[in-house]
A and B are shown apart, each in its own frame.
Chain A
């Protein structure tokens, strides 16, 4: 059995398990005579997309902006913060414990405050996604930058290599797998952050839509919203994974 053959089988089996889940869902609802309000069938769920009132595209766009925006901000500032920590040791000793303490705050608890400060809208929700993503990225990046083999350090020092050369040739590429492992964790958290923000107060987004249709008991639309939220998270995760595949050598990846 060749490698690519195994790949195809792997892929096929994964698709199959998803299809089986949808089929099971369908038969359970149809033959179990489950009321639509309790659980819609896959068909009903897709049908919910046709209700123009729900303004799906607009809501998808709003949630996507929050998720991707919050994640991107966290990636940029998280990596920069970790870099500063690695360049200025005292800054790390000063600020890292503070970050650890701040991270103890359940970010969800900040929701009402963010609304007071920033009002309803995309901003507080983006910030919520950012707040949840930031710490794991700082932590893993800082750790990756710290993990330099002492003997490699000696090798560079015997050659009178500069601090900058050490950073560019050894520290940063060595930290890359760690950065990606942090970003993978953050990618999943980002969606949760944005949706919680929308639950707490918002006038747009899939989380907001879910609250709206909850009132009218349109369970099918809720199902659809959950699926779309999951897809947004999946796309972000997939992009991070793709970048990792491209930038990080197989052996160095952190599973």
Chain B
């Protein structure tokens, strides 16, 4: 059997503050293949952000194994991670195109090529014609799309998204879900998508990893056997309902 692109085995994270220990993640065991879109779902405080930061190399951890990349699938942690947060976090003083360029500047990539790519990406996320605007001239949804383009500009292999649509209204959120699937299909990236929306998790994911809180641990990990491309209609199918019920049950809400 070949090695998975991302491999987590019994990952555990304990926060220590003022002498007290707090278990934020435990028993996290799952593999992610290249090109998958994995939803990480669970209630507030179950350790989703913590796990994402461990994957990003921002946090250490207290037990288990985290491996990204393998002999056949090289991974450079400095260049191969793109991040999207709940807030767009665009720099107010930069035009959209220059915001998208930020990672390329930090990495010192050839500017002309990166710029051409930034324009392409803004087209991909539906912001053609808005390149020279400032963030305040864009709606929240548009700003979040720009931040997705920013996460893609250095052509990373792995995109980590932490509730990227959490701050958007329901309608915009559905639209962004559909667009994310298109972007994912075109850009062919591995995406780990954190959300506390159960419907969103199943709709987007090729795989869903469920975390539960109190005490924090990984509770489930299953493949979503609904073919891509998906339309909003799949949410009404029996199969989709089974998946969401499975998660609700785990979270003790049924």
Listed in ascending order, the chain A residues whose CB lies under 8 Å from chain B are: 149, 151-152, 154-161, 165, 169-170, 173-174, 176, 248-252
Contacts and interface: CB of A to CB of B under 8 A. Distances in A.
Contact of B91 (A151, A161, A170): A170
Contacts of B91: 169-170, 173-174
Interface in B76-97: 77-79, 81, 83, 85, 87, 89, 91-93
Nearest to A176: B93
Contact of B57 (A158, A249, A250, A251): A158
B184 to A, nearest CB: 20
A159 B107 contact: yes
Nearest to B95: A249
Contact of A251 (B81, B102, B134): B134
A151 B58 contact: no
A93 to B, nearest CB: 21
Given A157-B58, A158-B58, A159-B106, A151 B87 contact: yes
A169 B78 contact: no
Nearest to B80: A158
A250 B92 CA distance: 9
A169 B105 contact: yes
B205 interface: no
Contact of A156 (B92, B93, B106): B106
Interface in B15-72: 53, 56-58
Contacts of B141: none
Contacts of B89: 149, 151-152, 155
B93 A173 contact: yes
Nearest to B53: A154
B106 A169 contact: yes
B82 to A, nearest CB: 8
Nearest to B92: A252
Contacts of A160: 77-78
A159 B103 contact: yes
Given A151-B85, A158-B83, A159-B78, A251 B136 contact: yes
10 contacts: A152-B89, A155-B103, A159-B79, A165-B106, A169-B91, A169-B105, A249-B134, A250-B134, A250-B136, A251-B135
B93 A248 contact: yes
Interface residues of B, number: 24
Contacts of A149: 87, 89
Contacts of A159: 78-79, 81, 103, 106-107, 154
Nearest to A155: B83
Nearest to A251: B136
Nearest to B135: A251
A154 B136 contact: no
A158 B81 contact: yes
B136 A161 contact: no
Interface string B99-141: 0001101110000000000000000000000000011100000
A249 B78 contact: no
B49 to A, nearest CB: 10
Nearest to B103: A159
Contacts of B78: 158-160
A251 B58 contact: no
A173 B56 CA distance: 26
Interface string B127-160: 0000000111000000000000000001000000
Given A176-B93, A250-B136, A251-B134, A154 B56 contact: yes
A107 B53 CA distance: 49
Nearest to B81: A158
A173 B94 CA distance: 10
Contacts of B107: 159
Nearest to A253: B92
Given A251-B92, A251-B134, A154 B83 contact: yes
Contacts of B85: 151, 155
Of listed B89, B92, B136, residue having the most chain A CB within 10 A: B92
A132 B154 CA distance: 48
Contacts of B79: 159
